[in-house]
C-alpha cells in the first residue's frame, strides 16, 4: 500500500538553528500538508500546498516557516530559526484529487526537539 514517508524520524537542534523536515508524499497525490502536534496537545494544521503554491496557512505558519516541493517528489518544511516552542511532532500528509474520497494520508511524523 502506498504511504507517506518522512525523514528524519527525530531531530535534535539548538535554538536558532535552521531545520528542514522532509516528506515524500504518495506519488499521484496533488495536495500536500504539514501539521504539528506539541506533546499532549491537539494536532494542528500548519499549511496546505497545491499546484506549487501555498493554498492555505494557519497563524502558526509565520515567516519562520516555509515549504517547498523542490523536485516533484519531495515536500519540505523549513524552520529558519528554531525556537524552544517549535519542539513538536511534525506530520506530513497528502491527498488526491477533488474527485476522490478526500482522505488524507499521514506520515509517521518527525519529532523535533529544540534545546
The rounded distance, in Å, linking the Cα atoms of 82 and 64 is: 8
Name the residue nearer to other proteins (CB basis): 81 or 102: 102
The β-bridge partners of 6 are 23
Residues 47-86 binding other proteins (CB under 8 A) are 48, 50, 55-56
Distance CA 10, CA 110 (A): 5
Quick one: 14 or 52, whose CB is closer to other proteins?
52
The verdict on 5 binding other proteins (CB under 8 A) reads: no
With CB under 8 A as the contact rule, the residue among 8, 10, 102, 113 that binds other proteins is 102
Q: Is 33 in the site for other proteins (CB under 8 A)?
A: yes
The stretch near other proteins (CB under 8 A) out of 8-16, 62-70, 75-83, 92-100 is 92-100
> What single string gives the DSSP state of each residue in the chain?
----EEE-SEEEE-TT--EEEEEE--TT--EEEEEEE-TTS-EEEEEEEETTEEEEE-TT--TTEEEE--SSS-EEEEESS--GGG-EEEEEEEE--TTS----EE---EEEEE-
Rounded least distance, CB 30 to other proteins, Å:
10
Q: List contacts with other proteins (CB under 8 A).
A: 4, 31, 33, 35, 37, 42-45, 48, 50, 55-56, 89, 91, 93, 95, 98-99, 101-109
Amino acid at each position: 500500500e502506498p504511504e507517506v514517508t518522512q525523514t528524519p524520524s527525530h531531530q535534535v537542534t539548538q535554538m536558532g538553528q535552521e531545520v528542514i523536515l522532509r516528506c515524500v508524499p504518495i506519488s499521484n497525490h496533488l495536495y500536500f500538508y504539514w501539521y504539528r502536534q506539541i506533546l499532549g496537545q491537539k494536532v494542528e494544521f500548519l499549511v496546505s500546498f497545491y499546484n506549487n503554491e501555498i493554498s492555505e496557512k494557519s497563524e502558526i505558519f509565520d515567516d519562520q516557516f516555509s515549504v517547498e516541493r523542490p523536485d516533484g517528489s519531495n515536500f519540505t518544511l523549513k524552520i529558519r530559526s528554531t525556537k524552544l516552542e517549535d519542539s513538536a511532532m511534525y506530520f506530513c500528509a497528502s491527498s488526491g484529487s477533488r474527485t476522490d474520497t478526500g482522505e488524507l494520508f499521514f506520515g509517521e511524523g518527525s519529532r523535533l526537539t529544540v534545546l
